């Protein structure tokens, strides 16, 4: 068996590994590059011909794991795409949004990168897999396992001439909503593992951090604007807010939720609530707060004094209804902006969190006078301790570290010094 590590080797984005076993060529994840030099990387030719691929497995619906799928179809791929049913539903939202964002690019090559027709081709080739059910595909057997992280996220056990486990992105062990990731299996030939938090422990206390924000909004009668990714992070925040207000009704304020994609993701989280740790609690939470369906309601909220909370996408302030709130509230010192997720370099969210000046939205000057908070504890990734624990039942299998910054991988490698551990370079091939 031969593995070529294509994406997420030098960073945490663009996850993609090619597995060749005999005649079978299987791609594990087909992630889009995001971030500063993403455009250049996207336009670099792939090191394989998509027409030659036998199939693709998608571990979960984040864009950096599935965003290249429509591109593969555009370039002639015709094989099956394997993933869980939940991943397929979330992926439709993510890929449709991605096709729209590409249409708006200035670079004509990116405008033509893929479109909605290519997105539809993905869903014509989908094969849904059930967790723990082994599926034979050519000379490989595919088995998906629960990885926590976001709804529908999986690790992949691949069995052919060798047995290899791909962690996918691993979730937290103490996530209130999602299951802890299933531990690595013993006696494998290789584990390919993510290492986002390989160099550090995540500061604990997501619930406490959110609670202190909610308390301040009530006590100081402010407007709290929470910028959130539409899929996964928003549903976690809605769940945690509902939990907090149920325990502390004295701090309750009107909460509004805005974003069409966010609302579609809510519907999917409701439908599959039974796969979480608290199905009833999640379902209740997702119907608790007012959804903004009409711009007139948005205008009304924008002219209303606090206390109130508005949860709106997008998470990095790169589009979506949050932009309208930002422009409307920018001179209001009584508004607190909470950035609830990672802010990539080059985004308005990052600029605000770095307190940069002379910013613009739609070529108009933008100066934020209210408070800005960057959440420190909100993450859907396992930290260093959890990564090491994930491996605990498997003491000898070699590990390939991907999906982490250089330092994270090197630090984690130090901790795994009792076993063979390597950090593949981009496009490096390894025989297992
Ligand atoms: Zn992910």
**pLDDT tens, 144-196?**
999 999 999 999 999 999 999 999 999 999 898 999 999 999 999 999 999 98
| One domain, residues 18 and 79 | yes
Ligand 1 centre and the CA of 61: distance in Å? 7
pTM for this predicted structure: 0.94
| One domain, residues 362 and 343 | yes
Ligand 1 centre and the CA of 54: distance in Å? 24
Q: For residue range 207-242, what is the model confidence (pLDDT) as tens digits?
A: 999 999 999 999 999 999 999 999 999 999 999 999
Ligand 1 centre and the CA of 236: distance in Å? 14
pLDDT at 396: 86
Q: What is the CATH number of the domain that holds 95?
A: 3.60.15.10
Ligand 1 centre and the CA of 342: distance in Å? 12
| One domain, residues 52 and 125 | yes
Query: Sorting pLDDT into bands at 50, 70 and 90, what band is 402?
Result: very high
331: domain range? 206-374
Q: Structurally, how many domains does the chain consist of?
A: 2
Ligand 1 centre and the CA of 65: distance in Å? 7
| One domain, residues 111 and 162 | yes
Q: Please give the structure tokens belonging to residue 246.
A: 């149920």
């Amino acid at each position: 068996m031969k593995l070529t590590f294509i994406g997420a080797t030098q960073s945490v984005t663009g996850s993609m590994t090619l597995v060749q076993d005999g005649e079978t060529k299987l791609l594990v994840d087909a992630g889009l590059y995001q971030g500063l030099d993403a455009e250049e990387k996207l336009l670099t030719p792939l090191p394989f011909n998509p027409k030659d691929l036998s199939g693709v497995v998608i571990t979960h619906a984040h864009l950096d794991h599935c965003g290249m799928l429509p591109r593969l179809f555009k370039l002639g791929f015709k094989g099956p795409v394997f993933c869980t049913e939940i991943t397929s539903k979330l992926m439709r939202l993510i890929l449709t949004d991605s096709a729209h964002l590409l249409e708006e690019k200035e670079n004509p090559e990116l405008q033509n990168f893929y479109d909605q027709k290519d997105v539809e081709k993905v869903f014509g080739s989908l094969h849904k897999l059930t967790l723990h059910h082994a599926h034979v595909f050519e000379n490989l057997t595919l088995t998906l396992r629960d990885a926590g992280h976001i709804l529908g996220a999986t690790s992949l056990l691949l069995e052919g001439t060798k047995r290899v486990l791909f962690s996918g992105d691993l979730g937290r062990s103490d996530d209130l909503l999602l299951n802890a990731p299933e531990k690595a299996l013993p006696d494998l030939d290789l584990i390919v593992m993510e290492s986002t938090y390989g160099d550090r422990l995540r500061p604990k206390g997501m619930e406490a951090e959110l609670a202190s924000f909610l308390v301040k909004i009530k006590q100081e009668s402010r407007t709290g604007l929470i910028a959130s990714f539409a899929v996964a992070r928003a549903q976690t925040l809605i769940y945690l807010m509902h939990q907090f207000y149920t325990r502390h009704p004295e701090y309750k304020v009107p909460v509004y939720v805005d974003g069409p994609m966010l609302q579609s993701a809510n519907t999917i989280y409701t439908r599959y609530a039974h796969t979480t740790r608290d199905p009833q609690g999640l379902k209740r939470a997702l119907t608790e707060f007012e959804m903004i369906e009409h711009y007139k309601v948005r205008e009304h909220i924008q002219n209303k004094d606090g206390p109130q909370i508005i949860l709106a996408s997008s998470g990095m302030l790169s589009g979506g209804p949050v932009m309208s709130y930002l422009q409307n509230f920018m001179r209001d010192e009584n508004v607190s902006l909470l950035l609830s997720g990672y802010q990539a370099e080059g985004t308005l969210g990052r600029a605000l969190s770095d307190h940069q000046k002379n910013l613009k939205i739609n070529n108009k000057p933008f100066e934020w006078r209210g408070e800005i908070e960057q959440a420190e504890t909100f993450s859907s990734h396992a930290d260093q301790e959890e990564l090491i624990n994930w491996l605990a039942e498997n003491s000898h299998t070699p590990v390939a570290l991907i999906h982490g910054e250089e330092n994270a991988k090197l630090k984690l490698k130090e901790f795994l010094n009792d076993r063979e551990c390597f950090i593949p370079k981009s496009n490096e091939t390894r025989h297992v």
